[in-house]
Structure 1
Amino acid sequence: MRALYFCWWLTINSLEMDSLIAGGLSGAFEGFVTYPTEFVKTRSQFQAQGVKTSPIQIIKTTVNEHGVKGLYSGCSALVIGNAVKAGVRFLSYDSFKKNLVDKDGKLTAPRSLLAGLGAGTTEAIFAVTPSETIKTKLIDDAKSKTPRFNGLVHGTSIILKEQGIRGLYSGLVPVIMRQAANSAVRFTTYSSLKQFVQGNSRPGQTLPASISFAIGSMAGIVTVYTTMPLDVIKTRMQGLSARSEYRNSIHCAYRIFTEEGVTRFWKGTTPRLARLSMSGGIVFASYEQIMGVLNKFRQS
């Protein structure tokens, strides 16, 4: 795995680094700001069948038992992972995009979808799966009265000791499926809306942060409703008891469908909707602004 990371780094070292830097900074910022919604979403997806606890109730219970810091259980894993994930996502998307634009330099919706699939798969392998696995296990562990994990480093060391490097790649297949779908839908929606706005009022101009935020938020909303089932499967496959309950992702999906019903695939939609609508706006708006600053810096 280390060799894979090293080879990947060598291939991007000669590429333009602005996308990686801007994506990493915007991802870290977004991850910290929106983390409580991710915490609530993950907790709701771990609820037992028949238990209906609202997001507000989850927040109240967590704060009463663990204080406000309880809403940030596993946060460091997600913030670090988000920085790497967003950097890899924007870098790989821009790389795929450069090779997929037509002779006029435009990226059609189908080609944007393909670039998003490539970017999502890349980020799932190199960034998302390890950070999401650790984050999910930390949240799952934190709900017990006597948690085993005492923070990111301690929790990661126990996972590695007991399960090895494979323990950090629990649910790799559903993560790839989710991230590929997420990036494909999000980038395609954002690019299409951005081209529409620029084509009608601001051709060739950099969009203001407010417009980038609005377009990014719309892209986040579309992404949530189209990819929620993959997110639920991913969360279940990364839980502490996943190995004893599910043979694979298909078996997990089958059990959810037959035992809990189809609506269970959209469990946690509200907090995820809150997060991705905000994160889409924050990431794209901050990314566009940071890229503008970096471009000016390089030109000076």
Structure 2
Amino acid sequence: MSDIGLSLFAGATAGGIEAFVTYPTEFVKTRSQFSGKKESPLSIIRSTLATKGITGLYSGCTALVAGNAVKAGVRFVTYERFKEMLADSEGKVSAPRSLLAGLGAGMCEAVLAVTPSETIKTKLIEDAKRPDPQYRGLIHGTSSIVKAEGIRGVYRGLFPVMMRQGANSAVRFTTYSTLKNFVQSTSITRPGQALPTPITFGIGAIAGLVTVYTTMPLDVVKTRMQSLSARSQYRNLFHCAYRIFSEEGVLRFWGGTTPRLVRLMLSGGIVFTTYEAIVRAMDGKTIA
């Protein structure tokens, strides 16, 4: 298998697994970011289980799993390609260049995968909390959105998504690579030896934690711009950010932090561990 094919396969597999395992936290995070009544994560879980059952916590799941698989595949392929382009004569990539490679990878995944899947997921989650939901699932919901709003309907919020994904990937890859290089420089492993799985998971989880707190405001604006009522409430992302700040306060930009923190810490651990395990098993390589 070619390097591109291997990165795509390993990334897509890791992304799909991660999205399914962590989806309930994404559901709670998205619900907590909608405007209106503020609910705690536990309150959202209790009310959803009481009215919709366990399947309610997976409303919009198919859209995110499919989108996350494509997203992760695109992310790892483009990150590896950008790294090759930015590497020095010895094949090494400095932290600033890793940041740039991650930024480019995040922008690519936002356009090719993230915006459509997350727009649909957000609308399905918001619709599911209504007494009489209008969407009967992923296919019906997608077709209804496209029929009502055109292809632009599934690309709503593209710019904030590009900003968030670019920042996400830049911070996550740079943090992961920096921590990994630091650990490998210690006596924990011999030169060239793969890190133990628990350590890889832990480094990925820390990368997820750093990513959450640095990019949360972009995520909140993205969610509002993709909501069902976005067109009637916000003129653009700057107007959206202004209204959140002036009407709800600056702390609202960190609404949904707890469930997103849980998700991205698990996500970082699962994705990097799964990706490296697959690549190592099939080709003997790891992320530098």
Q: TM-score, normalising length from structure 2?
A: 0.96
Give the alignment partner of residue 180 of structure 1, picking from 148, 166, 173: 166
> 1:116·1:185 contact (CA, 8 Å) conserved in 2?
yes
Superposition pairs of residues 167-206 of structure 1, within 5 angstroms: 167-201=153-187, 202=189, 203-206=191-194
Question: Equivalents in 2 of 1:296, 1:47: separation in Å?
Answer: 48
Question: Which residue in the other structure is 1:5 paired with?
Answer: none
AA aligned opposite 1:137: K
SS at match of 1:103: coil
Question: Equivalents in 1 of 2:137, 2:67: separation in Å?
Answer: 15
Give the alignment partner of residue 210 of structure 2, picking from 222, 243, 247: 222
Gaps of 5+ in 2: none
Question: Which residue in the other structure is 1:77 paired with?
Answer: 63
Question: Against the structure 1 CA distance between its residues 68 and 74, is the aligned structure 2 distance closer, same or farther, given a 3 Å change threshold?
Answer: same
Alpha carbon RMSD of aligned pairs, Å? 1.4
Question: Equivalents in 1 of 2:192, 2:104: separation in Å?
Answer: 26
Give the alignment partner of residue 290 of structure 1, picking from 269, 278, 286: 278
Question: Which residue in the other structure is 1:143 paired with?
Answer: 129
> 1:113·1:185 contact (CA, 8 Å) conserved in 2?
yes
Question: Which residue in the other structure is 1:7 paired with?
Answer: none
1:103 aligns with 2:89: yes
Give the alignment partner of residue 265 of structure 1, picking from 220, 243, 253: 253
Question: Equivalents in 2 of 1:77, 1:195: separation in Å?
Answer: 35
Runs of 4 or more, structure 1, over 6 Å off, are none
1:152 aligns with 2:152: no
Question: Which residue in the other structure is 2:269 paired with?
Answer: 281
Give 1:296 deviation, angstroms. 5.5
Superposition pairs of residues 31-46 of structure 1, within 5 angstroms: 31-46=19-34
Give 1:148 deviation, angstroms. 0.3
Question: Equivalents in 2 of 1:170, 1:14: separation in Å?
Answer: 35
> 1:28·1:82 contact (CA, 8 Å) conserved in 2?
yes
Give the alignment partner of residue 115 of structure 2, picking from 129, 133, 141: 129
Question: Equivalents in 1 of 2:193, 2:101: separation in Å?
Answer: 23
Question: Which residue in the other structure is 1:58 paired with?
Answer: 44
Q: Which moved more, 1:66-75 or 1:199-208?
A: 199-208
> 1:141·1:147 contact (CA, 8 Å) conserved in 2?
yes
> 2:35·2:224 contact (CA, 8 Å) conserved in 1?
no
AA aligned opposite 2:267: S
1:245 aligns with 2:265: no
> 1:209·1:288 contact (CA, 8 Å) conserved in 2?
no
Give the alignment partner of residue 209 of structure 1, picking from 192, 197, 200: 197
Identity %, equivalent residues: 67
How many corresponding residue pairs?
Answer: 283
Gaps of 5+ in 1: 1-12
Question: Equivalents in 2 of 1:14, 1:218: separation in Å?
Answer: 30
Question: Which residue in the other structure is 1:119 paired with?
Answer: 105
SS at match of 1:200: coil
Give 1:52 deviation, angstroms. 3.4
Question: Equivalents in 2 of 1:23, 1:213: separation in Å?
Answer: 15
SS at match of 1:158: helix
Q: Deviations over 1:87-133 (max 9, x none)?
A: 00000000000111112221111000000000000000000000000
> 1:89·1:123 contact (CA, 8 Å) conserved in 2?
yes
Question: Against the structure 1 CA distance between its residues 27 and 150, is the aligned structure 2 distance closer, same or farther, given a 3 Å change threshold?
Answer: same
Question: Equivalents in 2 of 1:15, 1:212: separation in Å?
Answer: 21
Give 1:242 deviation, angstroms. 0.2
Question: Equivalents in 1 of 2:281, 2:5: separation in Å?
Answer: 13
